[in-house]
Copies of this chain bind each other. A is one copy, B any other.
Amino acid sequence: MTAEIIAVGSELLTPQRVDTNSLFLTDQLNGLGVEVVTKSVVGDDLDRLADTVRRAIAQSEIVVLCGGLGPTQDDLTRDAVAAALDRKLVYHPEITEVLEQRFAQLRRKMAEVNKRQAFLIEGAEMLPNDRGTAPGQWIDDSGSHVILLPGPPHEMQAMFTRQCLPRLARIVPRQVIRTLVLRVAGMPESDLDQLIAPVYKKYDNPATTILAAAGDLQIHLRARCPTEGEAEALLAEVGGPIELLLGERIYSRNGQPLEEVVGNLLRERHSTLSVAESASGGLLGERITSVPGSSDYFLGGFITYASRMKVEWLGVPEEIIAEFGAVSKETAEAMALGARRRTGSTYALSITGVAGPDSGGEQAPVGTIYVGLADPAGCTVLHRQFFGDRTRIRQFATQMALDMLRRKCAQAAIA
């Protein structure tokens, strides 16, 4: 079975925006064994969109449209699909009622334009939207399944997972796809590939993909087999040697991000954490607290952006900053020790460095990062030189800090 994804919206045809909804959808559809054969982006243009839908239906059994279900005049997906299928749009007062209730909960009055969202294509099933006002639609038409989803990613993803996956599972011929995701921190992509390519290149199935972000690599092995047992066996056959080669550089085997892995380690050990951030400006705290339940182990942090704050809040000696600079091994150490002392946490992480684009009067070059880790036994500081823009350097820095803590926790368990 094949699928086509159509992203709707003139903003997706500007030089600034790419359609990323199709990545999630492709992943989900592939998971069912459905191949995506074409993706398109069409603007808010009724005839062009209707044309695209007609051609897609002629070509693929599954056609997914994203976006253009909002309340405004330029939300044309409902009208275009109705035109392509030569069906009418039917007003459903019960949908208006649900929308009105939703607005009432928000203590707002529903605008008249929102009634546009209560129109369904004749014969369509309504797909409820838990996270927004635009309902989705599911239409079966001469052997094709046409699915209308809202554009905002969190609405689209929830609707697809809850409403569409169960329906598709009944339609798509059964095939098992199993994926092994290994995540690795602090290693350049080319080094990783050179290390593991001799293993995975021998296999077409499972298919291997390596994804790289700042300081974070993901190895995806996708096995596609008639049975679950065969898929699992294949993943073990290829994944096993790769895991051996990478050893403790692997921080997760189930897709979990590093902040979640570290959080679980801290929770298991009844340990607590605090942070002292300079170059990362809050990003480390943000990543740690992005995990629900992080209040179990995270006490808090200091964003000591000005040097004076490092002295006043963390007790970094002024002489250290004067002698070695705010971006130095010594300052990183004093920051981590200070944060630990001020909070009474088991561990404290500090980050100081130069995120760029210019060095802001520091001696150290852009991309210099020092990470300090204080624990009951003392303090370790690591130094790295990263390359990239401000955002990327800050990501590298927080990834390095979290990975240092992960390795420390793992050692603590062995000792």
Contact = CB atoms under 8 A, between A and B. Distances in A.
Contacts of A79: none
B210 A72 contact: yes
Contact of A201 (B73, B286, B343): B73
Given A111-B190, A390-B290, A106 B385 contact: yes
Contacts of A14: 26, 30, 209, 220
Interface string A35-63: 11111111111001001100100010000
A356 B387 CA distance: 35
Task: Specify the main secondary structure of chain A where it touches its partner.
Answer: mixed
A298 B12 CA distance: 35
A410 interface: no
Copies of this subunit = 2
A301 interface: yes
A194 B188 CA distance: 50
Given A16-B23, A281-B286, A282-B283, A303 B306 contact: no
Contact of A281 (B27, B289, B306, B392): B289
A286 B289 contact: no
Contacts of A13: 26, 35-39
A247 interface: no
Given A40-B40, A189-B70, A303-B285, A18 B20 contact: yes
Contacts of A52: 38
Nearest to A210: B72
Interface string A1-45: 000000001111111101110111011001000011111111111
A300 B290 contact: no
Interface string A300-317: 111111101100010000
Contacts of A26: 13-15
Contact of A292 (B51, B112, B358): B358
Contacts of A42: 37-38
Contacts of A11: 209, 211, 220
Interface string A266-307: 000000000101001111111111101111001111111110
Contacts of A277: 282, 285
21 contacts: A14-B26, A14-B220, A15-B30, A18-B22, A39-B41, A112-B194, A131-B387, A133-B190, A154-B392, A280-B286, A281-B285, A281-B290, A281-B294, A292-B358, A295-B306, A299-B305, A300-B305, A300-B309, A301-B302, A313-B313, A313-B342
9 smallest CB-CB distances across A and B, nearest first, come from: A282-B285, A281-B289, A282-B282, A15-B27, A282-B286, A301-B303, A300-B309, A39-B41, A285-B303
